Amino acid sequence: MPLIDLSGKRALVAGVADDGGFGFAISRALADAGASVCVGSWPPAMGIFEKLLARGKMDDSMTLSDGSDMEFERIYPLDAAFDSMDDVPEEIRENKRYKDRGDFTIAGLKARLEEDFGSPSLDILVHSLANGPEVQKPLLETSRRGYLEAIGVSAYSHVSLLRSLGPLFRPGGSSLSLTYLASERAVPGYGGGMSSAKAALESDTRTLAWEAGRKWGLRVNTISAGPYASRAASAIGFVDRMVRYYESNSPLQREMEADDVGNTAAFLASPLAVAITGTVIYVDNGYHAMGAAMSAPELADETDVES
């Protein structure tokens, strides 16, 4: 069987700000397969990310399977809530964590890629970002603003990135996003409109597969990953309990690792997956296949929504 080979390919992974989540694991898997990797990082977290890299605090995580060190080709500021600087409120423009970063919007990202590498110059796009400001609130208590922000950052940004970056892709390109089972099943505690955002992301995956496939020859897929206790996921507030619940009830009783998602992403981005598009790929130890729980005490009294 041929190995995954992404030599000569350039990837942009949008949504990397530390070494603890799926975005970083995907970046490392792509680099391990030979791709050059650029990342987009949220401006408020970007300074800390750059300092961790510069001070060697992430050296162990940056080691590839052959013993070499992964290097990011570029680190770009990216706040995918904004399509262009015209959309950015003045208070954000003047915020000290933003104002020295230049154009941190999706339009600015495209301009920087074109300036640095020309066009076409991109082969792989990974949408590994989400935000729901009211994620800890039940849906019934979620404000219109919180709901729409969750949809905008977690789902529409993928549409916007593809629309903007599509013309930069070379033949055989691939776009990938990350979703979660709450898109299709009720997960008490996963609130703030995030379940709706993931459902929109999956629906968009099918439509974008058709539209981007016909327009640019791009494949568009999404990975539905099991719960993983990354720093970002910890904001949900009950991810540790969900990890234990999945381990108790999945066909494969093993702990999910970020590399499980990273390796799947590398496969989907490779020529080995040339006929796969418009698809939700489950990487959750088989939990999605279950119709009944074997053990549920972890969540018994902690995720009930008050009437």
- Complete domains list, the chain, with CATH: 10-299 (3.40.50.720)
Contacts of 61 (CB under 8 A, 6+ apart): 19, 24, 28
Select from 32, 33, 41 the least CA-distant residue to 13. Answer: 41
Strands in 36-41's sheet, in edge-to-edge order, are 72-77, 36-41, 10-14, 122-127, 169-179, 219-225, 280-283
CA distances to 158, 159, 173, 176, 210 from 217, rounded to whole Å, are: 17, 16, 7, 14, 9
Q: What is the pLDDT of residue 294?
A: 81
Q: What is the pLDDT of residue 296?
A: 57
Counting as low any pLDDT under 70, the low residues of the chain are: 1-2, 230-237, 295-307
Q: What is the pLDDT of residue 297?
A: 52
Write out the catalytic residue numbers. 180, 190
> Would you say 230 and 22 are in contact if contact means Cβ atoms under 8 Å apart?
yes
Q: What is the pLDDT of residue 304?
A: 44
Q: What is the pLDDT of residue 240?
A: 82
Q: What is the pLDDT of residue 249?
A: 93
Q: What is the DSSP code (8-state) at residue 271? A: G
CA 94 to chain centre: 27
160-203: pLDDT as tens digits: 999 999 999 999 999 999 999 999 999 998 999 999 999 999 99
Pairing of strands 169-179, 10-14: unpaired
